[in-house]
Amino acid sequence: MADYQLQIFTQEEKVFDKQVTALTLPGAGGYFGVWAHHAPIVATISKGKLTIRIHNEETEYELEGGFFEMHNNIATLLVDSFRA
């Protein structure tokens, strides 16, 4: 599977910057998934769980909401809070 770059920022700092295989995000209209070569998208993120998959390993984090953008295989997540 192809990977892509994910960068996650809080208001204070960059908290994540790695190559990932897939994401599952809590969007305003429900959860959605993002894989490599996804169409460009900008979305509002709700409070909920973010699942990051790197190859066969999944890790979950808690988000308090924010914004997500995917463009040219670079995903950027701007969140109010991010914790394991």
Confidence bin at 25 (pLDDT 50/70/90): very high
Q: Does domain 4-83 have CATH number 2.60.15.10?
A: yes
pLDDT at 55 over 90: yes
The pair of structure tokens assigned to 45 is 């993120």
Q: Where are the domains of the chain?
A: 4-83
pLDDT at 1 over 90: no
Measured in degrees and rounded to the nearest 5, phi and psi for residue 15 equal -110, -10
Distance CA 66, CA 43 (A): 9
- Can you tell me the mean pLDDT for 12-27? 97
Q: What is the pTM for the complete model shown?
A: 0.94
Q: What is the DSSP letter of 38?
A: P
What is the phi-psi region of residue 11: left when phi exceeds 0, alpha when psi lies from -120 to 50, beta otherwise? alpha
